[in-house]
Structure formats: C-alpha cells, structure tokens
Structure 1
Amino acid sequence: MADPLRPHSFAPPVPAGPAAAGVAPDASAAASAAFAIKNFSLWYGNHQALHDVTIDIPARQVTAIIGPSGCGKSTFLRALNRMHELTPGVRIAGDLRLYGDNLYAADVDPTLVRRRVGMVFQKSNPFPTMSIAENVLCGLRLNGVTDQQLLRARLEDSLRMAALWDEVKDHLFRPGTSLSGGQQQRLCIARAIAVRPEVLLLDEPCSALDPIATAKVEELIHELKSKYTIVIVTHNMQQAARVSDRTAFFYMGKLVEYAETRTIFMNPSNPQTEAYVSGRFG
C-alpha cells in the first residue's frame, strides 16, 4: 500500500531491503549517511548555542548524543527537525541535509520536515483527551488520511512496533493517560512512527522511567533501528553504551569527538571526552 504521507518534494528514504524485513542492514546501507551536517551553528539572540558542528549521522543506526547539561545536546537534536522554528530570535548558519535535501532551504515546509523526522520528548505526553487508538492515529488524521482500512492497519502495526499491542489491544479506547509511565512513552513512540518518518529523535526518553520500563524502551530502540535512523540524547552513560552504534560528545556547544561507541568509551582520542566518560566532570 502506497504511503499517503510521503512528500513528493523530498528524496525517498533508504530503499527497503534486508533491514526492512528485520535483518541487520548490510555494510553499504549502514555506512550511508542519513544526515550530512557541515559547519552548522545556531544562535538564540546573541547567544551562540552551537558552534560549527560537522557530523555525518549514518542511516539505520543509533547515534547517541552525550555531554553535560547545557552543552547543546537538545538544541542540536531539535535542529534536526526544525523544532526551533517558533522560538524568537533563533538563527542558523551552515548546512544540514537529510538524504541530500537541505532541510533549511527557504522553500521547504517545516511540517514536511517533521513528517520525515519524528520526535519523542523527555516527558511522555499522550494527548489527555484522546484514547490510546486516537493518540496513535492523530498524526495520520491531521494529514487528511481517512481510509479506515489503512488507519486500522497502521494502528496495529505501530503499536506492535512499539511493543505495546499485546498490552493494550483489548482496551484501545481507554484514555492514553490511563497507561503506566513506560507504556505512555512507548505510546508516544507509536504515535511518532505511525506517520512513517525516516528518522526518530529521542530526547532523554527514559529519564522519568523506572529500570524495568527503561529496559523495555531500550529493547525497542534495538528493534526499531532496522527500519529507522535513531538519534538519542541521554545523560546516562551506561544507556549510551548499551543502545548506540556511534556516540557524539558535545561540550560548550561544540562537537568534541564523534566515533563508534566502543571507541568513545574505551579509547577516546580527546582528553575532554575521556574526562567526561570516566566521570571526572559533568
């Protein structure tokens, strides 16, 4: 079934292949960049929050963004889908591309950017007046999808991908807020992936969850990376080490070091990175 939300003004996502069927992506797919970012800077008024960030984020892998509070992690994450659009005084410089498309080009609609780049926030935020089902489907409905067969299929598929279907299938019309904290966060993930983005951004998705709920979300991240490029901001060093393929360390708005996660934690090349991951500051 064709995806009614796929914007024609953008390049298609990475073609479906073994990874889409749940098999690990091949080396060429893993090596391809989803985001290509060069000399990207961002200011809030006179305050420069990001300084000349250059980074390629690979497709269908998990990239963790780490660093102390106030270092620019969340600012960088939100820049990836233009979430700063309505903040007064924000300006940017540099180049930020998704599969070759300049996301900040003057003729690009930010709404289309956010269809391609979904986001889950630190605090789970199911819409309180909506049922579990309507929370998942609201993005599709807002974009004009009325095909009931498609909506039913997308509801079940999204909840299954979020590892939530078996827990909620018998009470889909209860409020989304009736779920536990961990279930609510997975519901928000289901809502984000229902519109079939190419990228999933996760901003401290487990910070308010207990260890059991955190383990379920981390397991879900491992499963979703066969279909989605995932970028996660986390303060939790152990979590970054567990879930990510590559890790970027930010400090004072600058990208200090970026490498495979094992390298960052076992053999970093920058003394600042070593001091941070070893707990000597942060």
Structure 2
Amino acid sequence: MRPLLDVLRALNVEDAWVLHNDLGDRFMLEPVPDFVVGVLAGDDSDRWDKPKGFTDGEVTLRLGLAAGRGVPALIIAPPSIEMRTPDPLITVVACEVDSRQALADHIWAFTTTLDLSPANLFHEPTGRRLRNADEYLTALERIEWGGSNPGVQFERLMVRMLMEAGAAVVNSEPYGFMGEPVDIAFMPSGGSSDIVLVELKAGHLTEKRLSEAEKQLQALVIERHAKYGMVLYHDVEGRPLRSRHSTPLILRVPARELIHRLADDPLSKVLDTAVIEAVGRL
C-alpha cells in the first residue's frame, strides 16, 4: 500500500483514508469522497492485509456501491486478472500495486478524467480536428536546432498540439514519476483511460537512434501496462526514416505527418490508423 499512498501524495491528494475491513464502512461515503480506489490481490488466500480484511469480492462490491451513489471508482487488479465493468464510473486497470511507475501513470489518467464534464467523460468527442495545423507546421520549422534548448521547444509544441487535438496530456517536467525515456504520457480523449507513452526525438536523426528508442520504450510500455508507445520524431533534414518492420506495441510517427493527419481526422482515429499500419509491418 505504501507505493499507492506515495503516488496519491505526489498527485496532491491531500486526504486519503485506507479501509481494511467492514469496521470502516461507515466512513467510506460520509463525507462523500472525490473518488475511491480498490486494490485486488488476485488470490484471497494470500492477501497483503489483515486476516479479517476484505476479500476481492468484497472490495468490488463496495466500489460498486460507491459508483451507485455517483462516486468514481478505480479498481487496481493484478495483470493476471481479466476484469471488465459496464459501469462508466468504474475504471479497471491492470497493474501491480507495488509498481510505483505504473501506478502513477494509471492513477494520473484516472484522476485527470475527474476534471472533465460528464459529456466529455462518457462520450467520444466527434469531429475534433487540429484547426490551425499550418501554424504548428510553421512553428516546427522555426525551431532553431542550433540554438538553446531546441528539444524543450519541440516538446512544448507537441504537448500543446496533442492537447488541442483533444488529448489529456501530462508533461514529464512537473512530475517526478514519469521517468526516462518517457517525455509525455497522454490519453487519446476524455472518454478513454488508455495511456500512450511518448518518447520525443528531434534533430539530426538516424535509423539506429530511432530503433534504440523504440526498444527502450517497448520495455516501459510492458512494465507500466500502457496501451502502447509512440516515438514521435522530427528530423531537421526532413527525412521520413520509416521503419521497415514495426516494433510490437510501438508506433513511430513523424511530427509533420501527425500534424497533417490531425488536420483531417480526430486524434483517436489517427492513432487507430497508425496502429493498423504498424501491425501490417510486423
């Protein structure tokens, strides 16, 4: 439980209550919490809490009761458990409770949705496209690669672009839990809890450098139970540097191409298309 509490503190959750058994039931919904989190052990014969603590079934039941009263709920389940829920107020993530990095990603994604209106939370936004794609293309070309901090300029531009395209984005700079080599983590839309991890590469690039970035990112995607990863790059000489064979779970996307695609289609559709194209190259 310590990693979970540490992550909640890092996300500025000021008042977290831990309930181990039914003696705490009367405190669960009074006062009404902003959200509740339940951790499943996967094997009730070997639970991490006290012998008289909640079983997985009892944890799930209480989260269902909370959702029934309009309180968003997050279920953290071991990857060995396949679990789905039809209730839009209950989010299920596959993650080990002692994996701080994976917990941080998923709890950030969950708490980000709490700030969205119900219309954006439960329905995919339709037809949202990048309205000023030409401005982003111009800004991309104006980055002075021989100047100071061109990488920071590139990162800020990509974060702003993704947010305008409808993604919920976190920049690695203000959060100590992101870790290298991930530069950005985002959800494709307000109605999604899928996490995409992004590594940015820009400058004078080579196929070797991008391939190494893909392998590093692939390991993090697996470790942190993200949906997939994206190596988002811009070569100053304008070379496409497309991979002949895809790395599983990884998309390699030129920044210029992404901007063009977002001018025509919503982010979720652009990503779906990129995934299909990547699978075709496996």
Bin the TM-score by the shorter chain.
0.3 to 0.5
- Whichever of the two has the greater Rg, that structure is 2
The alignment's TM-score, normalised by the length of structure 1, stands at 0.33
Higher relative contact order (CA 8 A, sep 6+): 1
* Greater helix proportion: 2
* Greater strand proportion: 1
The alignment's TM-score, normalised by the length of structure 2, stands at 0.33
